Structure 1
């Protein structure tokens, strides 16, 4: 059977070049055991593509993360994704004989990688239309080309610093701090804004944006002072983080329980992010309460604290609505409050309470940053007692034969136990479930046991 034609090979290579890493790996796995000459040729094309991508990832490692937006949405220096493949092709086309040397171990690899990065910088300046076509993101093209070329000029220095990022984020000693400061100084010697650019490159490698505070405050012995940092070219990093806090605080304020699936996880993530940024600012910078940053931090803390306090009050009320009590007559004019057996075990009210209690439970630890932990603890203790008492009353009514629908009553008990678990009152929840398992008649007990399981 005839093999792939030249046209087929070119088309497949072009198609694979546009595919993501995941798709390429999936295709490689799929055809790994396929028989036939064409499948073998396709495996060779895939092997070439994967080898080329591995070389590109290694050579352009200092800038590769800058070709995708940050997942946390924080503003950063980025370039259009299609530019990466074009940049690589332009960088290697004049010296393709160097590429096999990237596949071997040795000191020579770094030298070759840095040489290709310099070639890439030259390509950006000399042949910008090849690297970045005029119709691709035209609004940012001119500035983007300038930024990309400058970053590639510094790639050899940034490459030497990448292995030390984890060290700089922890507790660097004097020699390690000197290494960071020398890196920044060397980059500043190449470009007037080289310090900011190399920190942009390091920032792109940080999954957690707030950690950049640790690096920028260690670039100088006085960088932890707000006055010095706010007047430097690195101030923009703090501004971006504070803008991220403001954006998340606005999302928190707009949150409505049960409004959309997965909303609770997003709210917890936003609250945790705000908490981590404000806590990191507290330990890395000495802020003046009357400065712009000091006021921004204070306003953000007050805003989130007010939202969190409102959330705690809403959770308290939501439990009352989901598991309401009603007044029942006992003897003569005497009455007492007892669980309302007609309350639905599912529905909007029950889910709203569930969402709010999830947040109350998840806020443990984070609420201390906003001065609300005492309020949260008081609410948790009160709700634990109320929910346990509610479950006890329903179980007594079941055992005394005072309910018309034992199965529904046990569902209400199950809801109370689930709420207790959300509040991290696991012992109380287990006690409620054990008692529910043996409550009522045989049929009800069997149903309760299956639900508990």
Structure 2
């Protein structure tokens, strides 16, 4: 069977080059099981591409996270994803005979890695159009190229520093803090803004953005003071976190419990993220309440705290709407409330109560930060009692044959059980589910006795 034509190879090479790593691995697995010369040629292409990417990851490891946006949306120094393969191709082609040394773990690896990084920096400066195509924003492109070249110059120092990052995030001793400050001094010796650039590289490796505060407050003996930090080149990191709180506070305020466009899990994550950031700011920085930062932090805390209290109140009312009670006369003017077994078990009110109760059950840690944990705990205790009573009364009605549609009633009871589970009243929810599983048995036993 004939192999791949030149046109096929060119087309497949373009596809393989653009394929994400997971897709590349999947393609290799699938193609490896296919027969024929074409499959073998494609398998070879995939293997070559995989090897090339492994080498690229070794050389450009300090900068790799900078070729994608942060998952938390916090502003950071990034480069277009399409620049990465262009950069590697241009840099690695300068001395291709050295690439095979990257496949070993010997002492020759680091010199080769550092050499290729410096070659990459030269390519960015000498042939920018080859690395970063001209786009509609020449000013941003020019700045991006300068930042990329600087980061490549600092790649060796950043690579040596990354193993110490976890230490700096915990409780570094004097020697370890001195190591961090020496790193920044060395980077400043490479470029006038090298210390800030290497912190950008370290920041890109932090999944939790707020942890950068623990690093920058170790950069100087007075870095935890707002008056120093706000006037330094490191102020931008704090400002980004404060903007992140403001953005999430606005998203929380705009959330509608019955809506489907924004998932409640996203709002819960926003509460948790803001709580973590504000707590870390309190611990690591001494903020002046009258400063711009102090006022922003206070306003964000007040807004989020007020919205959380509003959600707690709304959750209390949402239970009554989703699982309403109706007055039933029991003789003369006497009446009592019992579950309305004709209420719908799905719809906007049910969606709303599910979202709100899931939020109530999931923001325990955040509620403590925003001063609402006592109210949240009281609400959980109250709702546990109310939902358990509702389910108990509804089960009695089912067992006594007082409902016209037993299947509908059992779905309402299941909803009550689900609501209990959402607020982490697991024992009560389990009891309701167990009793609902045998609901109606008492009624059947009575009917059988009468028939006998």
TM-score (norm 2): 0.94
Do the aligned residues in 2 keep the contact of 1:345 with 1:411 (CA within 8 Å)?
yes
Deviations 1:19-72 (A, max 9, x none): 211221111111112222332222222111111111111111111111111111
| Structure 1 residue ranges without an equivalent (≥5) | 446-453
Tell whether the 8 Å contact from 1:169 to 1:214 is kept in structure 2 after alignment.
Answer: yes
Structure 1 residues 41 and 290, CA, compared in 2 at 3 Å: closer, same or farther?
A: same
Q: Secondary structure at the match of 2:330?
A: strand
Distance in 1 of aligned mates of 2:344 and 2:336: 21
Q: Distance in 2 between matches of 1:206 and 1:272?
A: 17
Contact 2:399 2:442 in 1 (8 A): no
Q: Which residue of 2 aligns with 1:309?
A: 309
Q: 1:137-174, CA deviations, whole angstroms, 9 ceiling, x for partnerless residues?
A: 54511111111111111111111111222222222222
Deviating more after overlay: 214-223 vs 241-250: 214-223
Find the residue that maps to 1:63 and give its secondary structure: helix
SS of 1:337 mapped into structure 2 = strand
- The structure-2 alpha-carbon separation of the partners of 1:296 and 1:438, relative to structure 1 and needing over 3 Å to count, comes to same
- Structure 1 residues 34-113: aligned runs within 5 Å: 34-113=34-113
Provide Cα deviations, 1:317-366, integer angstroms capped at 9, x if missing partner. 10001111122222222222222222112222122111110000011121
Aligned to 2:449: none
The residue number in structure 1 matching 2:364 is 364
Separation in structure 2 between the aligned mates of residue 296 and residue 248 of structure 1, nearest angstrom: 13
Matches of 2:217 and 2:174 in 1, distance apart?
A: 14
Q: 1:64 to 1:434 in 2, by over 3 A?
A: closer
Q: 1:407 to 1:89 in 2, by over 3 A?
A: closer
- CA distance in 2 between partners of 1:173 and 1:35 (Å): 60
| Residue aligning to 1:334 | 334
Quick one: structure 1 residues 67 and 136, their matched pair in 2 at CA, closer, same or farther if it must change by over 3 Å? farther
Whole-angstrom distance in 1 between the partners of 2:101 and 2:209: 35
Partner of 1:407: 407
Question: Is the CA contact 1:74–1:209 (under 8 Å) kept in the aligned structure 2?
Answer: yes
Separation in 2 of the partners of 1:417 and 1:286?
Answer: 46
- In the comparison of the two structures, how many residue pairs are matched? 445
Whether the aligned pair in 1 keeps the contact of 2:213 and 2:284 (CA below 8 Å) is yes
Q: Residues 400 and 443 of structure 2 are in contact (CA less than 8 Å); yes or no, is this contact kept in structure 1?
A: no
Q: Which moved more, 1:398-407 or 1:423-432?
A: 398-407
1:25, 1:362 → 2: CA distance?
Answer: 37
Q: Secondary structure of 2:91's partner?
A: helix
Q: CA deviation at 1:437?
A: 3.2
State the Cα RMSD in Å.
1.9
1:391-424: CA deviation from partner (whole Å, max 9, x where unpaired): 2222233333333333322222221111111111
CA contact under 8 A between 2:399 and 2:443: conserved in structure 1?
Answer: no
Counterpart position of 2:141? 141
Give the structure-1-normalised TM-score.
Answer: 0.94
After superposing the two structures, state which structure 1 stretch, 430-439 or 348-357, moved more. 430-439
Cα distance, 1:6 vs structure 2? 4.7
CA contact (8 A) 1:407 1:444 kept: no
User: What is the alpha-carbon distance in structure 2 between the residues aligned to residue 424 and residue 412 of structure 1?
Assistant: 19
Q: Are the aligned partners of 1:225 and 1:287 in contact in 2 as well (CA < 8 Å)?
A: yes
DSSP-derived class of the 1:371 partner: coil
Whether the 8 Å CA contact 2:400–2:442 is kept in 1: the answer is: no
Q: Would you say 1:12 and 2:9 are equivalent positions?
A: no
Q: Which moved more, 1:237-246 or 1:162-171?
A: 162-171
Deviation at 1:112, TM superposition (A): 0.9
Matched, 1:392 2:392: yes
Q: Distance in 1 between matches of 2:402 and 2:20?
A: 64
For structure 2, which runs of at least 5 residues remain unmatched after alignment? 446-452
Change (3 A) 1:417 1:6: closer
- Report the counterpart of residue 31 of structure 2 in structure 1: 31
Q: Give the equivalent residue in structure 1 for 2:450.
A: none
| 167-176 or 379-388: bigger deviation | 167-176
SS at match of 1:289: coil
- Return 300-309 or 221-230, whichever deviates more: 221-230
Cα separation, 1, equivalents of 2:205 and 2:324:
51
8 Å CA contact 1:226–1:288 kept in 2: the answer is yes
Report if aligned partners of 1:324, 1:339 keep a CA contact under 8 Å in 2.
yes
Partner of residue 427, structure 1: 427
